[in-house]
Structure 1
């Protein structure tokens, strides 16, 4: 059994703990009351911007001096009304500002021209279909003007699995530029089986300044194709757009550029090689997408 002398330190320690808890509680309560009382006494510094159509409240006791002091105080107060968000800059590009260069071939023309009819708008859309040789054009068909590409026999083609037609297709943009169409801002290139939704195309191109260098398109949907070629290349199957000043620079150097890359496979990787030499990267727009279906799907 503990003696009274042994129990004294424990009693004193318990008393000290109780005293400390009571003291901290009182301090907390006093501080909270003081804090809330300061908030109540402080008036909120909020600037209310009245509606311009509402008349200001009439003050019977106001005079010239008090009005001057009040106006000075209002000028010092910050305006807490946030400005509206800045809208994206849009350029007034319309369908008439776009020239389409469509690559096709004579042996597939009778089939592929039906794809073009689905989106082509006579007297609204502008552009040319470029073929390897002349075909019989029927009157009244809803199709673009048909032209034959220039001779490309002077260029070497060393790719063992590709086709020489890639050389003439590479020059579609340059040959369309040479036609001298007026008020053109963009050259859009596509294949004869590329389907363009012209409203969406105009909306997308309106985001960009046509006076600057732009090479706009997207990569392939196939990971294997992107590995074999490039993730920074606009694939022709989905179409791509080149601004007018960039098309002019491309036309000046394209033939020499084609001579430098005889082993490339297609036209779109040759365009990308020339763009790399001009120092213009691809501006990616996912709306320019292509889908290559397996041959099995064609039988369904």
Structure 2
């Protein structure tokens, strides 16, 4: 190639372009153009591979490790804290699965029936492992309870400001607010779920925990079941979780409910049951019922 190039240049100098034959000129010019292209490609390739930016990306030097991909994926030992390790311990970083101590129970009852219904709660309550409260309408006088075997008793706040067109002693409003009132008590360390239940609800804790582990407690979840009586579902709707079977509300949803529930229920004073009022507020927040067949509500009508 270099010999052809030299011949072409010599011919141009001695004879000029006009004296070259057309075929010879075309052939030599073609070789000249090809020669220039090859030289340009070799120069560009050499320059590209010798670039500091490309070289550092492919094989970063130790002096510039903070600005390359390698330093992000596998930092040098000199930059790690003394107590750190490039190989993380999975046991230490693994998120704890939902356990019984992550649950807080809000149990709705009344002063008229608690003396009898407490025996139902004793069947499943584990005082040394569970957290929760029983909400009554007023204090019970001259009656004794084994507080060590039962949840803590709380008295519901006054609900006279809520108009109830059915005149049912404001019980529906009071019971609908037990989750919100439980949330407002504070002490939310490691709380993931609030469980609403009636005083005659029987809770199988192992089954409940297994169900809740399926869901992300950091998201809005309203989990429960419809009634097993068709007439009840027709009256109150299939999107309502029935408190007789219990239902679960994730922590962030309980927080949102506590913030809006009082004003929400004033708008729905035409609804009859506490469960229906809770569902109405959930609908305003924009959270549908997540159905789990394990929450059994049996109504005898």
**Pairwise TM-score range, normalised by the shorter structure:** 0.5 to 0.7
Q: 2:209 pairs with 202, 208, 218, which one?
A: 202
Counterparts of 1:290 and 1:187 in 2: how far apart (Å)? 18
Question: By how many angstroms is 1:123 displaced?
Answer: 1.4
Superposed counterparts of 1:228-267, under 5 Å: 228-267=235-274
Counterparts of 1:91 and 1:276 in 2: how far apart (Å)? 31
Counterparts of 1:140 and 1:233 in 2: how far apart (Å)? 33
State TM-score, norm by structure 2: 0.66
Larger CA deviation: 128-137 vs 101-110: 128-137
CA contact (8 A) 2:223 2:247 kept: yes
Superposed counterparts of 1:1-300, under 5 Å: 92-135=97-140, 136-139=143-146, 141-159=148-166, 162-181=168-187, 182-293=189-300
Question: By how many angstroms is 1:293 displaced?
Answer: 3.8
Question: By how many angstroms is 1:141 displaced?
Answer: 4.7
**Could you say what the CA RMSD is over the residues aligned between the two structures, in angstroms?**
1.5
Distance change (3 Å), C-alpha of 1:226 and 1:140:
closer
CA contact (8 A) 1:233 1:282 kept: yes
CA contact (8 A) 1:91 1:207 kept: no
Question: By how many angstroms is 1:221 displaced?
Answer: 0.6
Which structure 1 segments of 5+ residues have no match? 1-89, 295-300
Counterparts of 2:114 and 2:146 in 1: how far apart (Å)? 15
Counterparts of 2:100 and 2:144 in 1: how far apart (Å)? 25
Question: By how many angstroms is 1:159 displaced?
Answer: 2.4
- Counterpart for residue 35 of structure 1: none
Question: By how many angstroms is 1:119 displaced?
Answer: 0.3
Question: By how many angstroms is 1:91 displaced?
Answer: 6.6
User: Which of structure 1's runs of 4+ aligned residues deviate more than 6 A?
Assistant: none
Question: By how many angstroms is 1:263 displaced?
Answer: 1.0
- SS at structure 1 position matched to 2:104: strand
CA contact (8 A) 1:91 1:206 kept: no
CA contact (8 A) 2:127 2:148 kept: no
